Amino acid sequence: MSRAERLLSLIEILHRRRAPVSGAKLAEELGVSLRSLYRDIATLQGQGATIEGEAGVGYILKPGFLLPPLMFSEPEIEAIVLGSRWVAQRGDGELSTAARNALAKILTVLPADLRSQAELSALIVGPGEPIAAGEREIGAIRKAIRAERKLSIAYRDGAAQATRRTIWPFALAYFDRVRVVAAWCELRDGFRHFRTDRIDALEVVDERYPRRRAVLQKEWRAAEGVPPQ
């Protein structure tokens, strides 16, 4: 672990702790000597981190400090680059643009050596199957999910039977070929899944659904056996 990574790890450890933690425990968690730990704390204090405490008492980080510049480990950089590239290639149009913009913003604030690692990342996204239709609806669905709004949709099921549904969308799954809305269906009085390419028309209802999105997601995960992400 480089010293820059160690300083970031130390900040992250202190961020997680609400009570003072001893120098010995911090040094053990970071795998360094107490002497190195004290130097790291002094360095962070010099950079503006409000770390209070002293040897033999313990240390605590007061809120409001972020390490400038933004720091990531090599595996974290690879994960960010690979994830951004996947969304840029396989996400809908709006998310694809957002992924490219987000990665560009991250690169501008990385130190030069880490920026070079990100730009030269050897992890690439391979070609996938053609994505089923449904591009126009995705943006409206994501906005409805964020706002916890009902949707009125004209839908065709797997047998091409047309129905009209009022749903409470709370999640949108991106599979390799299709995108699926997880929602509470008022017609069926239960959780249902709707492929976006089978939605012929949709309208956002100016009405919030009566239960919070987080509650619906928790109940759906329990009912469907979907692990948390």
Indicate the pTM of the whole model. 0.67
In terms of CATH architecture, what is 135-224? Roll (2.30)
Confidence of residue 222 (pLDDT cuts 50, 70, 90): very high
pLDDT at 66: 58
Residue 78 has what DSSP assignment?
H
Q: Judge whether 44 and 10 are in contact, CB under 8 Å.
A: yes
Most confidently modeled of 10-24, 67-81, 156-170? 156-170
What's the rounded mean pLDDT across residues 182-191? 97
CATH fold for the domain made of 3-61: Arc Repressor Mutant, subunit A (1.10.10)
Q: Where are the beta strands (DSSP E) in the chain?
A: 51-54, 58-61, 149-156, 162-174, 179-185, 190-195, 199-208
Percent of the chain with pLDDT over 70: 96
pLDDT at 70: 59
**Three-state DSSP class for residue 67:** coil
pLDDT at 69: 54
Q: Please report where in the chains the tokens 């204090």 appear, as a residue.
A: 45
pLDDT for 67 beyond 70: no
On the 0-12 / 13-18 / 19+ scale of CB atoms within 10 A, 210 is: exposed
More confident site: 178 or 129? 178
Confidence of residue 192 (pLDDT cuts 50, 70, 90): very high
The mean-pLDDT minimum among 66-75, 96-105, 192-201 falls in: 66-75
Q: Judge whether 173 and 182 are in contact, CB under 8 Å.
A: yes
Q: Judge whether 58 and 68 are in contact, CB under 8 Å.
A: no
Cis peptide before 69 (omega within 30 of 0): yes
The mean-pLDDT minimum among 27-41, 49-63, 158-172, 208-222 falls in: 49-63
pLDDT at 144: 95
Confidence of residue 71 (pLDDT cuts 50, 70, 90): low
What's the rounded mean pLDDT across residues 98-123? 85
More confident site: 162 or 130? 162
Confidence of residue 110 (pLDDT cuts 50, 70, 90): confident
CA dist 67 → 12, 63, 121, 148, 175 (Å): 10, 12, 24, 34, 36
User: Rounded to an integer, what distance in angstroms lies between the CA atom of residue 163 and that of residue 155?
Assistant: 5
Q: Which residues of 48-69 are buried (b: 16+ CB within 10 A; e: fewer)?
A: ebebebeeeebbebeeebebee
pLDDT for 118 beyond 60: yes
What's the rounded mean pLDDT across residues 64-84? 76
With CA atoms as reference, report the closest residue to 192 among 170, 215, 218, 159: 170
What's the rounded mean pLDDT across residues 43-66? 81
CA dist 74 → 8, 35, 109, 114, 116 (Å): 13, 26, 15, 8, 11
Please give the mean pLDDT across all residues of the chain: 88
pLDDT for 106 beyond 90: no
pLDDT at 65: 63
Domain boundaries, the chain: 3-61, 74-119, 135-224
On the 0-12 / 13-18 / 19+ scale of CB atoms within 10 A, 114 is: buried
Q: Please report where in the chains the tokens 């360095």 appear, as a residue.
A: 43
